[in-house]
A and B are shown apart, each in its own frame.
Chain A
Amino acid sequence: MNDAAMIWNLFAGVLIGLAYLSAFAFVAGLTLRLFLYFKTPVPLKIVQTPGPKNAPGVLARMAGDALIFPNLFQADKALWLGAWLFHACLLLIFVRHSRYFLYPVPELVIDWQAISIYAGFLFPIPALYLLWRRMASARVLFVSGLPDFGVLILLTAIAATGMLVNYYARAYLVDVKAFILGLLTLTPVAPPQHPVFIAHFILVCLLLIYFPFSKLLHAGGIFFSPTRNQIDNVLYPRYVNPWNEEVRIDQNR
């Protein structure tokens, strides 16, 4: 084996190690954070009005919050448009990428490929808008930290390298899928020797490691928000203090 092949094998091993490390950090971190959210006591009803009166109402409210961001729409129309497009593009891009994780690939995913391609082209626009907004407004800039910019830049870099791999410096999809399926089935094979794909892959690994420890966790945290997931039935049941002393009432008096 010559030196170049040896260095490549070593690099491929490091890349595979990084992939498993990032998968572990993502799954373990996400599980731990969501478990902590789940175990956090919520002793009081703090439903945001108008609150839903039953469980289906809560489901509808949460679905609305997660899919169309009605509160943001009322607060800031331009930000709503940017944020909604950003999230919709992310969803479509995720659907498009699911073909690398699934075998056989569902027909629905294949049918959505054409729409998802446009989401890839569109994605940088809302991402750059959100980045610009953080810098253009003094008030927003004041409350923005390095992680706020870092995440947007990381996502934009992932999108940029993804578009390069897909359109300008194409990678051989069969090798890409064999690499991903190899990782998923614990039978790893060497990644494609394609610098832009490797850059794309490393950036995604960094995102996975960072995800559970960042503001990106709002993706899961939104469902644990007590102002949004509680039923507004505070006046319906009778609450009895569990440590009250029992009072004997003489019925004959």
Chain B
Amino acid sequence: MKRFLILMLLCITVIMLVAGCVPEKPVKDGKGELAVTIDREFTTPATHSPLEWWQTHHPTVINSGDIKEQDCLYCHQVDRSCNNCHGYVGVRKIK
């Protein structure tokens, strides 16, 4: 029983340590190190509306060839509004 309790305490300590290393999820204009920010000078194109749909389906649109990956980079800065999300979910980063 004593061993079990020590093991449980150890597991909880490890989880707490890991939890401290996990950043807040990337959110547009959100807080935290992964927050997605886009310069104010750019207006949101009609294709990005509604935002929830676009966030989910932009890979499909790019893979279909309707928009090229390079087209995104007219407004999006790779580090602040592409690769923070891509790195978070573990998909190929934009170069």
Contacts and interface: CB of A to CB of B under 8 A. Distances in A.
Nearest to A114: B92
A177 B86 CA distance: 11
Give the secondary structure class of B's interface. Answer: helix
A185 B90 contact: no
A110 B25 contact: no
Given A171-B56, A172-B56, A185-B22, A109 B90 contact: yes
Looking at chain A's contact residues, the main secondary structure is helix
Contact of B52 (A104, A172, A186): A172
Nearest to A105: B90
A178 B15 CA distance: 15
A184 interface: yes
B92 A174 contact: no
B77 to A, nearest CB: 18
A202 interface: no
Q: Which of B18, B19, B56 has the largest count of A CB atoms less than 10 A from its CB?
A: B56
Interface in A153-208: 170-178, 181, 184-187
Interface of B: 12, 15-16, 18-19, 21-23, 25-26, 52, 55-57, 60, 85, 87-93
22 contacts: A99-B91, A100-B90, A103-B88, A104-B87, A105-B87, A109-B90, A110-B91, A110-B92, A113-B92, A170-B57, A170-B60, A173-B89, A174-B55, A174-B89, A176-B89, A177-B88, A177-B89, A181-B22, A185-B22, A186-B12, A186-B16, A187-B19
